[in-house]
Amino acid sequence: MPSPRLPRRCIRYWISVALTAIGIFVVYFLNFVDWANRNDDLDTTDWGIEGVASDSGDADCAHLHGMDKILVILKTGATEALQKVPVQIETTLRCVPHYVVLSDYEEDIAGVLARDSLSTVSEETRRTNPDFGIYNRLRVSGREGLTASDWADEENGPYGKPGNPGWKLDKWKFVPMIDEALLVKPDAEWYIFIEADSYVVWRNMVDWLSRLNPGKPHYLGAPMKMGSEVFGYGGAGIILSNAAMLLVSRYRAENFTDVERMTADDWAGDHVLGLILKDSGVPLVWSWPLLVPSRVWEFEYFSKENDRNPWCYPVASYHHMSPQDIQDMWLFEKQWLKFKRDSVLLHRDVFQWHVYDVITSKKDDWDNFSSDNESERNAGDSPTTAGECARKCSLLTDCLQFSFSEKGCLTSMKVAGGVHRPGYSSGWITMRIKALLKNARKCSNVQYITA
């Protein structure tokens, strides 16, 4: 008896299904190979972290372990909270079991209560100090009490944003937040203070803190100078051990009036906190480049500061990150962990797999933060077009990138990714950057800062 034949239509259907499946597999495989082997010069040394387990049932948090004894404090204000906090809740805070949002106005943000961080400031100060104008209007009228001038923003200058009412009020939050955090979770070993435009790589942060004794007073921060004083920069994250927190809380209780006077006379609350810690005998541990006071796109990955080259250090935080920056970095970190599940994310890796993608010979409407003014360095020989600026950079043996705008031709011996900015043309000497990558350290040891 002859074998039954499948109808020709059925055969065509199953061939189509098989070809589609093969095509999907090939595309996925090629994408994986491209991601894992993008450049033969890239250093792919892996460094494992012990105890990869999750404190959360979220699949995106399966890489994280050891946060139960950490409290994260996100500081914000009414004029930025609705724009900046939701993306933090949806991304970086998803894997954090214990966190609190402290603001200058109590409200619900994406299902999370933002608490008033200034309620323990004296009534007299809140009533008489002009910095509290926006705070008092919020208490009386809610968001309807905000005026157009409250939303005015300005460039960050040497003394912050003195024309921004929300920024002037912000300095009052740093010291009161200590007592608020201790009320929320008095048994935490570590308290990590971040801002609404900070980004934290939590697995790196946890691995770093596991190397320190929380029973001792620790004050970790990216160093910032004010005169002869050095203190931890709030935007990059300030980390205090339980012992350090208790010292600050006691100092405030014993010197309450003096602390408020210090804050009124200062322009930066993180500086006031640093002075209190210094008076309490807790020195700052200079934590750059684990804590970075700039955006991922602005950071100079081949730079050197305080005898430290960031290349082989883990990245723990960035600052000045826009909501889109945070979303992009979150997606990148998820992709990284998908293929490098047991690896520490180093600055090397962020540059090679995230920032390097934007580097080309030339990009229009793009600012790569070049800073050396060629018209000043070479009077009478100033480039007048982006092309001339590019040629100028190529003739300077130490030049790695350039930008051209109404400011003229700017070059740089450092490398940064950059951001979209109309009116700017930027470019990189890609062959020199590839040579830097080829000759970069191989990171035989992951570098941490513990003292």
In this prediction, residue 171 carries a pLDDT of 96
Low-confidence ranges of the chain (pLDDT < 70): 1-58, 153-163, 373-380
In this prediction, residue 417 carries a pLDDT of 92
The residue type found at 232 is G
Q: How many CB atoms lie within 10 A of CB 396?
A: 16
In this prediction, residue 254 carries a pLDDT of 97
Going by C-alpha positions, the residue among 175, 66, 186 that lies closest to residue 117 is 175
- Model pTM? 0.84
In this prediction, residue 40 carries a pLDDT of 47
Going by C-alpha positions, the residue among 366, 363, 426, 438 that lies closest to residue 400 is 426
In this prediction, residue 338 carries a pLDDT of 84
* Domains in the chain with CATH codes: 59-286 (3.90.550.50), 362-451 (3.50.4)
Of how many residues is the chain composed? 451
Q: Give the Cα-Cα-Cα angle 414, 420, 421 (nearest 5 degrees).
A: 95
In this prediction, residue 166 carries a pLDDT of 82
In this prediction, residue 248 carries a pLDDT of 98
pLDDT tens, position by position, 388-401: 999 999 999 999 99
In this prediction, residue 90 carries a pLDDT of 95
Q: Which residue reads 């804050």 in tokens? A: 263
Hey, what are 389's tokens? 């600026």
User: How far is it, in rounded angstroms, from Cα 55 to Cα 53?
Assistant: 7
Going by C-alpha positions, the residue among 74, 103, 449 that lies closest to residue 238 is 74
Q: Which residue reads 């998820």 in tokens? A: 334
**Backbone phi and psi for residue 124, each to the nearest 5 degrees, phi listed first:** -60, -45
Radius of gyration of the chain (CA): 26
User: How far is it, in rounded angstroms, from Cα 150 to Cα 134?
Assistant: 7
